[in-house]
Structure 1
């Protein structure tokens, strides 16, 4: 059994302190240990990152030099990404086909932001004052704290780390205590790619013991967090004490709005991928199916026909279609929400707690509820599991009202062959991302982020590096300053 230790100042630290077991979700058995870091470790990691930001190899790099480092990392990832696959699966149980799909393209995120770094330049500013010019200089914040979740640790880390480094910051990463191994293995590859000490540090442990200490540290200058809305509130509160800006990508309860003029086969595929890929453990999971009443029975019949035979199994087996949930506490939560929905009167058309009986590990299969009222917990609260709730509508206005009746606003899907109607509905939906006739796309050029309790700020997109930069306005007078007191 391997023990993973903190990665600080370019090396794995010796560790004699407490550890946290990492459990393989497919077996329920411990497979590794991670260091249980504390506030003193947080202080050391932040101070090391701050030194690297102010002096040494990282501080001396130009934007071109930082781009070269990111390209070197991309080269290593392109050649050796398979080294990262098994540690992530052993931690969070995601299917190997999904992890391979993510990691085979992981290098492209770092390559993209290397190119963006090369575009950084001072910005000319217009002003109306005679004899004075002003220029905006783009300045990194300093130490950035990046807190990542357990569902896709390295993919979501790329969205934070690549633009933060491209901008010239140093970064201290706190991965979820439920899934830290792949991030530490990634740090090893970054070091081998030539990243200087202190540019990337990784601390593991519980949020209340080390995560909060990182966010509250007086040398922390920026925080970026992906996780639950409850976690986001804690992070925002902690960061506010030192007036530290935060970017929060939080939960979702995303609607899939299906009109009767849709391409039914395409829609079924989209709804299935939106909720049952990754076992629903994704912030953009399309967990609320809002379908026009005239096609509801046909659509539900197709979904059940496709979902029932999906094969659960070992996530390391490429033939597996249903992998386990990521950890035991989450299994208990999802199971409890399914049971509460039954008690509340929702009709369970497919019960994923029954279809996986006899399996070892943290399994729940596809679950579909009909006759769900809008006041039920299963409709209003994020499950973060393979649970789909169905409601019907008659009119376009009713569909929009149902879709927007949520505290969240991260993503939404629209399925219709009427392009004008789809565009109208997209404009009316309160979601940071709206997909029309497809779902789950992500690209470095398109922003990700939510409305309402799904968070604030955006990751990726054309302003991704700007999120990790501050503007310093430099004014220059070209004529003598007149005597202010003649």
Structure 2
């Protein structure tokens, strides 16, 4: 039984306080414990990060030196990424095939932003005032608090950490109490790679105890959060008390709009990828299938035939295609939403609770409901599980209206061989990201974020480093100042 303590100032803290259990979703058994951090732990981590920001090797480093440190971290990850695989799987139950795929490329995020850091420099500012010129200097905020979810802890941490460090900030991470182990192991590797003490601190514990204390701390200068819209509201409220900017990447109820002229095989693969990869536990999960009426029966027949063949099993087995949900409370939530959909009158074409009955661990298989109406809970609320809600349309305008009939707006998919139609519908859908004839792509050069209850601000993209900076304008007079009171 391994016990994880907070990682502060380049080392694991001696911990004799309360702990929280970490349960292996594949077995339902506890495999490790993590420290239940408190306000004192949060204060220690923030103050240490602030000290590292203001003095020492990180504070004295220029953008090129910071880039070199990120490259060293990338080098470490290229050779040691497999050390991180097992802790993440035992924490959140994700399939080893998916985790290995993510972690084998984890170094690339830090490599990309190391390159971007070398490009960061002051820029002349155009102005119309005679006798003066101005320059914009990009200055880091200081201490950034990053709060990460349990579904892809290290991948999402990389999205936040790489540009924040490239900009010159220091970072305190609060991982989900449901999946903290891989983040703590990563922090140890980052320190071994040469990241100075205090530049990356990790505090574990509950959101209302340690997370809120981190966000409300007077030395915190920016917050970046990924999680539910409920959690996002709490973070935004806490940040606003200190006038702290926050980036919120929240939930989704993403539509997949499928037209009758689509490439059927491509659409089926995209829908499967959108809702059943990671067992639906992704913010961009394509959980609402909006399909043209004339195609619906054929599409569903093929989709369900494929879904029935997916192999349920141990996430450590490379042949497993359906792994468990991440934790028991989430299993209970998803099960309750499936039962509610049945009671509301949706037609259950494939019941994942039946296909996984009797298994140890937190398993639910692919689930498909037809005749889901916009008034049903399954249409309106995020399941964050392998549950697909299906409805049909007859006109393009109806398809767009159904796609936009949601409080969320994170992502969407459009499937059609008509390029003009695809572009037109993608433009009309209210979402931060729209995919045409594919799904789930992500790249450090492309922004990620949502509209409506899916949050605000953007991660990644061409402005990612600058989003972790504040512009400081410096004006220089080139002519004598005239007497203001002649």
Q: Give your verdict on TM over 0.5.
A: yes
Look up the match of 2:368: 368
5 Å matches for 1:187-226? Answer: 187-226=187-226
Shift of 1:34: 0.3
Look up the match of 2:96: 96
5 Å matches for 1:55-204? Answer: 55-204=55-204
Task: State the alpha-carbon separation in 2 of the partners of residues 210 and 57 from structure 1.
Answer: 28
Task: State the alpha-carbon separation in 2 of the partners of residues 142 and 241 from structure 1.
Answer: 18
Task: State the alpha-carbon separation in 1 of the partners of residues 320 and 202 from structure 2.
Answer: 32
Task: State the alpha-carbon separation in 2 of the partners of residues 459 and 321 from structure 1.
Answer: 29
Task: State the alpha-carbon separation in 1 of the partners of residues 358 and 327 from structure 2.
Answer: 18
- Provide the secondary structure at the position in 1 that maps to 2:448: coil
- Provide the secondary structure at the position in 2 that maps to 1:178: coil
5 Å matches for 1:468-479? Answer: 468-479=468-479
Task: State the alpha-carbon separation in 1 of the partners of residues 298 and 363 from structure 2.
Answer: 28
Look up the match of 1:356: 356
Task: State the alpha-carbon separation in 2 of the partners of residues 42 and 304 from structure 1.
Answer: 48
5 Å matches for 1:322-337? Answer: 322-337=322-337
Instruction: List per-residue Cα deviations over 1:232-288 (Å, max 9, x = no partner).
Output: 000000000010000000000000000000000000000001000000000000000
Shift of 1:381: 0.3
Task: Count residues with an aligned counterpart.
Answer: 486
Shift of 1:358: 1.4
- Provide the secondary structure at the position in 1 that maps to 2:30: strand
User: CA RMSD of the aligned region, Å?
Assistant: 0.4
Task: State the alpha-carbon separation in 2 of the partners of residues 425 and 442 from structure 1.
Answer: 21
Look up the match of 2:466: 466
Instruction: List per-residue Cα deviations over 1:309-342 (Å, max 9, x = no partner).
Output: 2111100000111000000000000000000000
Look up the match of 1:411: 411
Shift of 1:142: 0.2
Stretches of structure 1 that go unaligned for 5 or more consecutive residues are none
Instruction: List per-residue Cα deviations over 1:187-222 (Å, max 9, x = no partner).
Output: 011001000010000000000000000000000000
- Provide the secondary structure at the position in 2 that maps to 1:269: helix
| Structure 1 stretches of 4+ moved >6 Å | none
Look up the match of 1:380: 380
TM-score in terms of structure 1 length: 1.00
Look up the match of 2:42: 42
- Provide the secondary structure at the position in 2 that maps to 1:195: coil
Instruction: List per-residue Cα deviations over 1:388-417 (Å, max 9, x = no partner).
Output: 000100010000000000000000000000
- Provide the secondary structure at the position in 2 that maps to 1:368: strand
- Provide the secondary structure at the position in 2 that maps to 1:27: coil
Look up the match of 2:298: 298
5 Å matches for 1:297-316? Answer: 297-316=297-316
1:251 matches 2:251: yes
Stretches of structure 2 that go unaligned for 5 or more consecutive residues are none
5 Å matches for 1:5-44? Answer: 5-44=5-44
Task: State the alpha-carbon separation in 1 of the partners of residues 161 and 151 from structure 2.
Answer: 17
Task: State the alpha-carbon separation in 2 of the partners of residues 474 and 379 from structure 1.
Answer: 52
Task: State the alpha-carbon separation in 2 of the partners of residues 243 and 184 from structure 1.
Answer: 29
5 Å matches for 1:250-289? Answer: 250-289=250-289
Task: State the alpha-carbon separation in 2 of the partners of residues 62 and 134 from structure 1.
Answer: 22
Look up the match of 1:399: 399
Shift of 1:118: 0.2
1:426 matches 2:442: no
Task: State the alpha-carbon separation in 1 of the partners of residues 87 and 297 from structure 2.
Answer: 42
Instruction: List per-residue Cα deviations over 1:104-151 (Å, max 9, x = no partner).
Output: 000000000000000000011001111100000000000000000000
Shift of 1:181: 0.2
Look up the match of 2:346: 346
- Provide the secondary structure at the position in 2 that maps to 1:282: coil
5 Å matches for 1:232-247? Answer: 232-247=232-247
Task: State the alpha-carbon separation in 1 of the partners of residues 301 and 453 from structure 2.
Answer: 33
- Provide the secondary structure at the position in 2 that maps to 1:80: helix
Task: State the alpha-carbon separation in 2 of the partners of residues 309 and 474 from structure 1.
Answer: 63
